Structures are given as structure tokens and as C-alpha cells.
Structure 1
Amino acid sequence: MSIKTEADMFERELQKLYHAELEILDLNGDLAEAAASEEIRELFAGHREDTVAQITRIEEIFELAELPLEERGSPIMEGLLAEKDEFVNEVESDELRDLDAIGVGTINERIEITLLDRLVLLAESLDHPEAVVNRLEQNRSEAESALRKMQEFRERRRES
């Protein structure tokens, strides 16, 4: 896909976000399974419902923006999945497993927030309907909430 306009960029970034969210369904399941503590397992397992809702909103955005529903892979997401695989296959200590799960989860949420920021900016610039911007902002709010939960876990670990 050749990117010549903001509309092209919006479509590409939306496809990348859609692909990322579909991958995140599996990623969070893998992180929950690999975590040592119940708290971390519940954190990632509990995020599944949010991710499904985010995917639904992205699908609605494709429809509202009159774009074909397609996903596009991203080198950033592939790198994150490789990082997760390395952690799952190599980290043996329970304490380190939880820290690594939180680390991978934090990277994921930051990537998601960055993609959403870019999409909001483009959607506003392209005068997409308010419903598009609202859905993007709702997904961003949920990503920020998930990131805060992970940061709170890190802070509790630091203080203990």
C-alpha cells in the first residue's frame, strides 16, 4: 500500500491496530498462562473482555469510515510477540516471570496508545464522524487503564 494521503495513512494505521488487537487476544492469554502469581494471571485474563470490546469498536470504525475490514501486520507487533515467546521459553524464576509478563504487557499498552493517538489525530484532521473519534478515544482510555494497573503492580513490587 502506497501512502500518499492522510486517508491512506488512516486506513493503514487502522488495519495495523486491528491486527494488533487480534494478536493481543492471544498475547494476553499467553501472558496469563505464563505468569507465576494469581494477581498477574487475573490481570491479563481479565483484559480479554476489554480487548473483545475494542475489536468490536475497531470493526465499527471501519464501517463508519467506509473502509474494507482488513488487518495489516506490523513489525512492532511481531517484535513484541517475539519478546513474549522469549520470555515464555526462557524465564524460569517465578518472580522474574511476573516482572517479564508485566514488562511485555506494558510495552503492548504503550504501542496501542501510540497507534490510537495517531489515529485520533488523523480522524480529526480528516473530519471523520465524531463516532469514529469517540470509539478511538474509548479504546485509548481502556489501554491507559490497563497500563495504570501494570504500573501499580510495579510500584507495589518496588515498595515491598
Structure 2
Amino acid sequence: MADKTLDDLFYETLKDIYYAERKILKTLPKMARAAQSEKLKAAFQQHKDETEGQIERLQQVFEIIGKRPRAKTCAAIDGIVEEGEEIMEEFKGSPAHDAGLLASAQAVEHYEISRYGTLRAWAKQLGYAEAVKLLDATLAEESKTDDALTKLAETAVNSAAQKKAA
């Protein structure tokens, strides 16, 4: 075990986020269908399209490091997705439904931002300049999505949930 390197850790974490992105890609259409707000539906659809590109970038990173794209089960993303599914079920039809969905989506974004930031730093340390560019592009997208979701929560979704509940 002592012979594990940063390269090994990079590869294992890359497999983790690859699994996460593929899981998210399958979950986003369900979240879009469940959303009551048209703006939230559109945000989920846009992120689905971005996620497809992010998966392609990850495949390029695997190629850069000379490894075949492989996914490793990510318990963290499985848990976050499961929480989102519980919200969809427990709050279905309620005024707070979209606020809960949006919060679940942001939990996903925060996980992704954490992973991509780490992978980017490690790629830089390991001298994978092309991987740094690819990971940086995805990190920027994830941050932009998180900002857009925050804005949507603050300008529409949260107040709509509160007004309907009153």
C-alpha cells in the first residue's frame, strides 16, 4: 500500500467523478420532469447538455494519462442523488418541491466543484497540462451552474415556495 502515488490517486478520483457524471446525466432528465418551474426545468436541461460535454472531457483526460475510461462507484454521489429522489417523492406537489430539488442540484454541484478543483490541482502537480485545461473548463462550468442555481433560488424558486405556503 505504501507504493501508491499521486498518479494512482488521480486515476482513482478520475474514475470516481466519471461515475458521478454518468449518474448525474441519468438523473437530470428525471429532475427536469419533476420540476414545476419552467426556469428550473430549463436549468436542469442545460446542465444535462453540459454534463455530456463534461463526460467527453473526462474521457480525454483518461486518454492523456494513458488509461481506459472506467467508472468506480461513488457512494457520495449515490447518496446525494438518493436524497434528491426522496425530496421528489416526499415533497411532490408541495410548494417547497422545487426549492428542495434546487437544493439537491446544488449539493451535486458542490461535490463536483470539490472533485474538479482537486483533480485540476493534481493534474497541474503531475504535469498534465492538457488535462489541467480540460478540468479547468469543467470546473468553470460547474461554478457557473452553481451561481445560476443560486440566482434562480434567490430570485424565484425560494420566494415562490414561501408565497404558496402562506
Do they fold alike, i.e. is TM over 0.5? yes
Match of 1:24 in 2: 24
Match of 2:107 in 1: 107
Structure 1, unaligned runs of 5 or more: none
Match of 1:65 in 2: 65
Cα separation, 1, equivalents of 2:3 and 2:127? 19
Match of 1:147 in 2: 146
Contact 1:106 1:147 in 2 (8 A): yes
Q: How many residues align?
A: 159
Match of 1:41 in 2: 41
Match of 2:134 in 1: 135
* Percent sequence identity over aligned pairs: 25
Cα separation, 2, equivalents of 1:2 and 1:96? 49
Aligned residue for 1:67, secondary structure, equals coil
Tell me by how many angstroms 1:31 deviates. Answer: 1.1
Cα separation, 1, equivalents of 2:95 and 2:44? 16
Contact 1:116 1:140 in 2 (8 A): yes
Aligned residue for 2:96, secondary structure, equals helix
Cα separation, 2, equivalents of 1:33 and 1:48? 12
Contact 1:36 1:94 in 2 (8 A): no
Match of 2:51 in 1: 51
Query: Which of structure 1's runs of 4+ aligned residues deviate more than 3 A?
Result: 157-160
| Structure 2 letter corresponding to 1:144 | S
Cα separation, 1, equivalents of 2:159 and 2:103? 17
**Against the structure 1 CA distance between its residues 35 and 136, is the aligned structure 2 distance closer, same or farther, given a 3 Å change threshold?**
same
Cα separation, 1, equivalents of 2:116 and 2:145? 14
Tell me by how many angstroms 1:8 deviates. Answer: 0.8
Cα separation, 1, equivalents of 2:92 and 2:13? 36
Tell me by how many angstroms 1:94 deviates. Answer: 4.1
Tell me by how many angstroms 1:154 deviates. Answer: 1.6
Contact 1:35 1:41 in 2 (8 A): yes
Contact 1:25 1:51 in 2 (8 A): yes
**Partner deviation per Cα, 1:113-141 (whole Å, 9 max, x = no partner):** 0000110111111111x211000000000
Cα separation, 2, equivalents of 1:37 and 1:146? 17
- TM-score (normalised: structure 1): 0.93
| Structure 1 letter corresponding to 2:17 | L
Match of 2:117 in 1: 117
Contact 1:120 1:136 in 2 (8 A): yes
